[in-house]
Amino acid sequence: MKKFLLLSLSIILAVVGCCGCDAGDSSELEKANASYHIEEQLPNQKIVFIMTKINYEERFGEGYYIDGEGRKYTFSLDSKQIYEKIEEIYKELIDHYEEFESTDFMDKEKLKKTAEALYCINPTAEVKEEGKAIIDYAPETLYGVKKIDGKEEIVFLKSYSGDSKELDDKYAKMVYEEIGDEWNNVK
């Protein structure tokens, strides 16, 4: 009977410990920081996250980006700057980085944790569709920017309005949860 109780108690503790604990996440985030030197490179990274809201038919765009200091910069794109690819928008934002208005948005510890989650995203994670809108609104899309070996890699995270999609990865979810419920709010 004692063996049965000890075995049952061990199983219960194992299940409770696994389901409600972020210890695995924490160690993975620390490994990402150690592997990619996130803490050292963040202050030099002009763009860590980008949210775009672009209407290709009406030729307007707006959004924000978050830099390596945790500041949020809002931007508007004119019809000449409406590009099809996020890499082209990213280049445009880098080229005009200092022209946009900024505000404090994330403290450095929260930014570090969010960036670590970005680096933990499985590169083979699938994009899952959450649904299609009846009315075609301009999609609001969140991206992360990883710097690996001096090169930027832009990672799709989530899209809302129009066709709603998200990267099916627990670390991608951590990113937009850390940015907040209003991740798609430009202001």
Query: What pLDDT score was predicted for residue 34?
Result: 81
pTM above 0.85, yes or no: no
Tell me the C-alpha to C-alpha distance, in Å, between residue 93 and each of 12, 66, 96, 136, 171.
Answer: 52, 11, 5, 26, 25
Query: What pLDDT score was predicted for residue 102?
Result: 93
> Residue 108: which H helix or E strand, with range?
helix 108-120
Query: What pLDDT score was predicted for residue 35?
Result: 85
Q: What is the pLDDT along the chain (187 residues), one digit of tens a residue?
A: 433 333 333 333 333 232 222 334 678 888 887 888 898 889 989 999 999 988 777 778 899 999 999 999 999 887 666 777 899 999 999 999 889 999 999 999 999 999 999 999 999 999 998 766 555 667 789 999 999 888 999 999 998 876 788 999 999 999 988 887 666 676 6
Ordered strands of the 101-104 beta sheet: 101-104, 71-77, 60-66, 49-55, 140-148, 151-160, 163-167, 127-132
Q: How many residues does the chain have?
A: 187
Distance CA 160, CA 15 (A): 34
Tell me the C-alpha to C-alpha distance, in Å, between residue 163 and each of 9, 17, 132, 139, 141.
Answer: 46, 37, 5, 7, 10
